[in-house]
Structure formats: C-alpha cells, structure tokens
C-alpha cells in the first residue's frame, strides 16, 4: 500500500503559526511580486500566492511586466521596492528572459527582502551550511513534509534529479545538514534509473509532467515531487506518473496537494522574518 504524503495538515499548522505571529506582533506584512509575461506556470504560482495571502490578510503588490522589458527598467523597479519600507519581501518569477543578466538581477535584490534566496549573500549562507535565514522554498517544503510524516533523513541515500541553484544545490546542502548521503543528477547523468532505484528517497524536479513511471523506482522508494508543468491534457501535474506508481512505491507527494501548497505558505512565513 502506497502512502500519499499530502500537505493539508502541515499547511494548516503553518497558517496558524503565521496568523499568531502577525497578531501577536501587530504586523502588516506586504509582499511584492514581479512577473514577466504570462507563463502559465507563473500565473498559477501567483494565483496560489494571492489565495494564501488573502486568507492571512497579507498585502500583495503584483507587478506584471512585459517579457521584453529593458534591463534598466527592471532594475529600477527592484530598487524602488528595495527602498519601499512598506514592502517586506520580493519575489521574481523565473526563468528570466534570455536578454536579462540574471546575475545582475540577483545582486540587485536586497538580502533582507530576497525571499527566494537569489542574492549571492543569501546563497553563500546556505552553501556554507547556514539554513537559519532565507532558503529556497521548494527544498524547504520537501524536507518539512518528510519530517511531518516522521521520515528520518539521517543516513539515508537521497537522489535529487535537478542541479539548479534554486532546487538541487540548496536541497543538497539541507540534506547534508541532516546527515543524509546525497547524489545530484542532471540531463547528462548516466543510468538515471539505476541511481533512483538505489536511493531511499528521490526528489524529482525536472518540470516534465508525468515523466517518472514505476521503472525508476522500487517498492520501498519514497519520492518528493517538486516539478510542476502541464501534461498532454493541459492539466498542471508533477513529474510523477501517479497512475503507474500508485500501489507500487512506498510513498510519494502528490501534485497538486503536496509541495506547492507548502511553498506558498513558507513564502509568506519568510515575509515575516525581518518584520518584527
């Protein structure tokens, strides 16, 4: 029998924690979002953030811009938000258009408002093992979900199918802090199925809907699905082919109903870090 690692109960706990912190400290938190264009994934993510923020009485300043925006115009907007004392945190939906210098954009974000942990100052803290400040939210959500279900990471063999600076690399540091053994896989990894089958826990984040079927796993596999994309029917789904792995693997997190809901709430919780 496969265990489905749903996030509903944990999400309610995080909501309560956020509400208590806002009420006990008389806070009026405000988030600023920057979306370039109308990518369906970005729109869905933004919709989820707005829904969660509305339920917690958190203000959101949405900035929707053209994907052909001039770099200087985007940098000026970020500078304005950095200096706006009513704004507690900023997120910029990724990936950025190719004509923008991603490193320059990341550097422009105030480290105290950089909720997605993109500024090199915040990244360096994570890569040095300091996970007490801003850390990428999808990796944080995945670890919290495992902890909620009592799944211990110590000594576990973990495979991450993603080598990005917002998922794979920071997730590997969090896992190492929890004394797991980590393997990072990517597009040039050989024998991926062998690596995922030999892992205790697999984290998938390739953004290819329903890609991973049971041939990648064993009956004991625990899988955290971080990927989100549209399947052939136009529905938002994770990387896992759930019809194939149901009643086969040990446990997995669903999409929707897993990491996504937690990520939105953890973003809003991070917003309070420098508000008190």
* Residue list for the binding site for NADP(+): 162-164, 228
Opening angle at CA 25, ends 20 and 31, nearest 5: 80
97 close to 67: Cβ distance less than 8 angstroms: yes
170 close to 200: Cβ distance less than 8 angstroms: no
205 close to 160: Cβ distance less than 8 angstroms: yes
Residues 6 or more apart whose CB falls under 8 angstroms from that of 161 comprise: 185, 186, 192, 196, 202, 203, 204, 205, 206, 239
6: helix, strand or coil: coil
**Euclidean distance between CA atoms 135 and 116, whole angstroms:** 7
Known binding site: residues? 162-164, 228
Of 102, 153, 148, 111, give the one whose Cα is nearest residue 133: 111
184 close to 172: Cβ distance less than 8 angstroms: yes
13: helix, strand or coil: helix
- 146 φ/ψ sector (left φ>0, alpha ψ -120 to 50, else beta): alpha
């Amino acid at each position: 029998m496969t265990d489905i690692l749903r996030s509903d109960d944990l999400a309610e706990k995080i909501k309560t924690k956020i509400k208590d912190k806002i009420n006990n400290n008389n806070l009026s938190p405000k988030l600023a979002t920057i979306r370039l264009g109308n990518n369906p994934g970005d729109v869905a993510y933004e919709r989820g953030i707005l829904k969660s923020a509305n339920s917690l009485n958190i203000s959101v300043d949405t900035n929707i811009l053209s994907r052909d925006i001039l770099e200087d115009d985007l940098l000026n907007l970020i500078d304005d938000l950095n200096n706006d004392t009513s704004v507690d945190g900023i997120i910029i939906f990724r990936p950025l258009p190719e004509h923008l210098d991603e490193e320059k954009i990341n550097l422009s974000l105030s480290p105290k408002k950089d909720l997605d942990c993109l500024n090199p100052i915040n990244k360096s803290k994570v890569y040095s093992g300091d996970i007490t400040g801003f850390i990428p939210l999808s990796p944080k959500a995945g670890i919290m979900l495992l902890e909620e279900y009592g799944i211990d990471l110590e000594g576990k063999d973990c495979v991450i199918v993603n080598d990005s600076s917002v998922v794979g690399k920071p997730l590997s540091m969090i896992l190492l802090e929890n004394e797991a053994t980590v393997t990072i896989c990517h597009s040039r990894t050989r024998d991926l199925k062998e690596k995922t089958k030999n892992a205790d826990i697999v984290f998938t984040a390739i953004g290819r809907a329903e890609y991973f079927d049971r041939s990648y796993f064993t009956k004991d596999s625990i899988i955290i699905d971080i990927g989100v994309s549209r399947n052939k029917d136009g529905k938002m789904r994770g990387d896992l082919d759930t019809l194939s792995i149901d009643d086969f693997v040990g446990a997995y997190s669903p999409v929707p109903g897993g990491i996504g809901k937690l990520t939105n709430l953890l973003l809003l919780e991070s917003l309070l870090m420098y508000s008190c």
